[in-house]
Amino acid sequence: MATMTHWLERLQSDGDLKVIEEPCDVDLEIAHIAYVEVKKSPSKALLFKRPVNRAKGIEYDMPLLMNMFADFEVTEKFFGRHPDEIAAEIEELMHMRPPEGLMAKLSMLPKLFALKNVFPKRLKQKGLCQQIIKTASHVDLDELPILKTWPKDGGPFITMGQVYTKSLDGKMQNLGMYRLQQYDKRRLGMHWQIHKDASHFFDQYKEAGVKMPVTVAIGGDPLYIWCGQAPLPYGMFELMLYGFVRNEPAKLVKSVTNDIWIPEDVDIVIEGEVDPNEMVIEGPFGDHTGYYTLKEPYPVMDVTAITMKKNPVYQATVVGKPPLEDKYMGWGTERIFLPLLKTTAPDLIDYHMPENGVFHNLILAKMQTHYKGHAKQFMHAFWGVGQMSFVKHAVFVGSEAPALTEYEAITEHILNRISPQRMLITEGIVDALDHSSPDTLVGGKLGIDATGDEVEEGVDSLLDDEELLSAMKAIDNNVLSLRQYFMHTKNPICIVAYRKERSVQQLFDDLKSLHAHLKILIVVDGGRNSLKNPYMLVWRIANNIDALRDIRKEPFIMVDATDKNELDGYEREWPGDVLCDRGVLESLQKRGLIDIDEDFIEKFGLL
């Protein structure tokens, strides 16, 4: 079993680790450095040897690790092989048949014996993570270098915590990855959303009127935290997946003050209990959508013990606008879970969730079609499968389509096959972090069937950008600029920057007269979006639209990707973008801790 120390030594010997000796503040500085680094290619894991909290006058006695999943190659090292190889092993097991003959039976033995390693092993002795034990009045969360990652965050948050819980009857265990806000020296906010397994367990304890035990682990084998975000079926303990990937069981020890079992080699353990009747405001928090999630009441964990190794490493991550560390964690999940997704959708060939679609907002899928409406059948299947039910926008292509990661080619392929008739708009559940829908947890979904032949009709009278802008400004002078993409396809995309002084739906009414020149029109807010930056435009559009409200199909496809407000009848609070602090960036640049220019800042929407 490889400890965090082992992995750090390997990262350093392979040239994948950057060590920062200069004191860096847990308030914004460390997160900003990591945020910049992971957007570079190739990026490196970062080990901050001297984290400090200048406001509290604290110099921490443990290093802090960021960007552990630094890139594709580093992530593959953690898995021990390419994720596709792990997926192939899963697929082989799923298609095993009773062997015929002695040799066939003997050949199956290694596979069958390996399966015993999926079940975690409980140890009787104390673990490495319990070399130092602090309970009662000795508990102090301020001893940990907990980060404040964004200027408008409600406080410091644990961002790479492995949250271990169990059902009320003790028959099911769960490992999840949830953020935890530090309120003071002994209390943490538990951000488990309504759709998550830990929240289901919480409901059981609340109904029974008893406190819920929770243990949070930090560090150890990087695979633990990846397992925590893996979309396994309800009731299946995520550390079984660890055993399958590692081909050795996770070794667990009992928490000191509750009956939760955790890996014995993690670096830091925070134990406690949650009173189901106590809720405290949690947030705001700059989240992986690239927007702040707003203040909401969540359960509170009262910490009963903190244990750790003698020389622990605190691990954290930063989330915000893509690309970030979750890109590489999500890549592993995407590849490994393909065989399981095929059990529900057997004609699925491949799928891909681009990180600038923030995963649940956009999925591309390649399938083998056999009959009319097959792709629409797939859409409903996807929207009914576990974590896939949160996907807002799904695009399906046929087996002849280019690779889903060849973005230019696959986009051209799709645009030659889009028509209003091939679009399905419906309603379903959405992620709790989604802000675009009129109501929480439920919103519009868009499915596009691009599996068929190319559409016959293109634009009747294609205009260049200058001509088209002039025609639009004559209709509404609040149209500030525009840019057309893929003008050689049957469905060119026209992106418009708009000064929003009225509803975009009213603008759409007025622009119908330009139907001869347009096939797909997308409107974004002027002044906040660079029309020359398609990567961030995809991020903005996928985040900002609710298909039921924001998409029109006639006389051409029109999409309102602006921020919503009272002009749109939107009554919720629209969250702000996650943005860096300019002063912090300038300070880090002067100290030589980052090296960026204005082009880099604009490319990734840092400010």
Note whether residue 92 is domain-resident: no
Note whether residue 100 is domain-resident: no
**Same-domain pairing of 395 and 518:** no
pLDDT category at 105 given cuts 50, 70, 90 is: very low
Phi, psi of 95 (to 5 degrees): -110, 15
The residue type found at 491 is: N
Phi, psi of 503 (to 5 degrees): -65, 140
The mean-pLDDT minimum among 11-25, 92-106, 196-210 falls in 92-106
Note whether residue 605 is domain-resident: no
CA atoms of 406 and 404, how far apart (whole Å): 6
522 three-state secondary structure: strand
CA atoms of 154 and 295, how far apart (whole Å): 8
**Same-domain pairing of 230 and 149:** yes
**Same-domain pairing of 250 and 395:** no
Q: Give which of 260, 576, 296 is closest to 440, Cα–Cα.
A: 296
CATH number at residue 149: 2.30.110.10
Element (H, E) at 295: none
**Same-domain pairing of 341 and 287:** no
Mean pLDDT score across all residues of the chain: 91
The mean-pLDDT minimum among 86-100, 103-117, 230-244 falls in 103-117
Phi, psi of 314 (to 5 degrees): -85, 130
**Same-domain pairing of 120 and 41:** yes
CA atoms of 66 and 19, how far apart (whole Å): 11
482 three-state secondary structure: strand
Query: Within 10 Å of residue 24's Cβ, how many Cβ atoms?
Result: 24
pLDDT attached to residue 200: 81
Task: Enter the tokens of residue 503.
Answer: 């509803």
Domain limits at 373?
336-450
Q: Give which of 316, 70, 77, 293 is closest to 216, Cα–Cα.
A: 316
Task: Enter the tokens of residue 195.
Answer: 């759709």
Dihedral of CA atoms 59, 60, 61, 66 in degrees, nearest 10, equals -130
Note whether residue 606 is domain-resident: no
CA angle at 253 for the pair 250 and 259, rounded to the nearest 5°: 120
CA atoms of 267 and 310, how far apart (whole Å): 9
pLDDT in tens, 42-91: 899 999 999 999 999 999 999 999 999 999 999 999 999 999 998 888 87
* Mean pLDDT, residues 474-479 taken together: 96
Task: Enter the tokens of residue 587.
Answer: 């300070």
Residue 97 in this model has a pLDDT that exceeds 60 = no
Residue 109 in this model has a pLDDT that exceeds 70 = no
Give exposure, 589-601, as e/b (b: 16+ Cβ within 10 Å): eeeebbebeeeee
Note whether residue 328 is domain-resident: no
pLDDT attached to residue 594: 96
Exposed/middle/buried for residue 343 (C-beta within 10 Å: 0-12, 13-18, 19+)? exposed
**Same-domain pairing of 291 and 257:** yes
Rg (CA), the chain: 25
Q: How many domains does the chain have?
A: 3
pLDDT attached to residue 112: 47
**Same-domain pairing of 429 and 287:** no
pLDDT attached to residue 98: 55
**Same-domain pairing of 300 and 362:** no
Residue 429 in this model has a pLDDT that exceeds 90 = no
**Same-domain pairing of 309 and 343:** no
Domain edge (last residue) among 427, 450, 473: 450
**Same-domain pairing of 260 and 144:** yes
Phi, psi of 162 (to 5 degrees): -90, 110
CA atoms of 429 and 440, how far apart (whole Å): 9
Exposed/middle/buried for residue 177 (C-beta within 10 Å: 0-12, 13-18, 19+)? buried
Note whether residue 106 is domain-resident: no
pLDDT in tens, 357-412: 988 899 999 999 988 889 888 888 878 777 788 889 999 999 999 999 999 999 99
CATH number at residue 373: 3.40.1670.10
Name residues whose C-beta falls within 8 Å of residue 162's C-beta, 6 or more positions apart in sequence: 175, 176, 177, 216, 217, 218, 220, 224, 225, 228, 262, 266
* Mean pLDDT, residues 145-166 taken together: 96
**Same-domain pairing of 309 and 351:** no
CA atoms of 96 and 27, how far apart (whole Å): 53
On whether the CB atoms of residues 300 and 187 are closer than 8 A, the answer is yes
**Considering all CA atoms of the chain, what is the largest pairwise distance in Å, rounded to the nearest integer?**
82
Dihedral of CA atoms 529, 533, 535, 541 in degrees, nearest 10, equals 30
For the four alpha carbons of 167, 173, 178 and 182, in that order, the dihedral sign comes to positive
Query: How much is the pTM?
Result: 0.92
The mean-pLDDT minimum among 291-300, 303-312, 342-351 falls in 342-351
For the four alpha carbons of 72, 76, 81 and 84, in that order, the dihedral sign comes to negative
The mean-pLDDT minimum among 107-111, 302-306, 313-317, 502-506 falls in 107-111
51 three-state secondary structure: strand
Residue 27 in this model has a pLDDT that exceeds 90 = yes
Note whether residue 142 is domain-resident: yes
CA atoms of 50 and 267, how far apart (whole Å): 17
* Mean pLDDT, residues 95-107 taken together: 52
The mean-pLDDT minimum among 222-231, 475-484, 576-585 falls in 222-231
| Number of alpha helices (DSSP H) and beta strands (DSSP E) in the chain | 18, 31
Residue 201 in this model has a pLDDT that exceeds 90 = no
On whether the CB atoms of residues 245 and 79 are closer than 8 A, the answer is yes
**Same-domain pairing of 208 and 248:** yes
**What's the 3-state SS for 93-106?**
HHCCCCCCCHHHHH
Domain edge (last residue) among 388, 423, 450: 450
Note whether residue 101 is domain-resident: no
CA atoms of 544 and 596, how far apart (whole Å): 28
CA atoms of 502 and 568, how far apart (whole Å): 8
Please state, for a pLDDT cut of 90, what percent of the chain lies above it: 75
Domain edge (last residue) among 284, 315, 346: 315
pLDDT category at 108 given cuts 50, 70, 90 is: very low
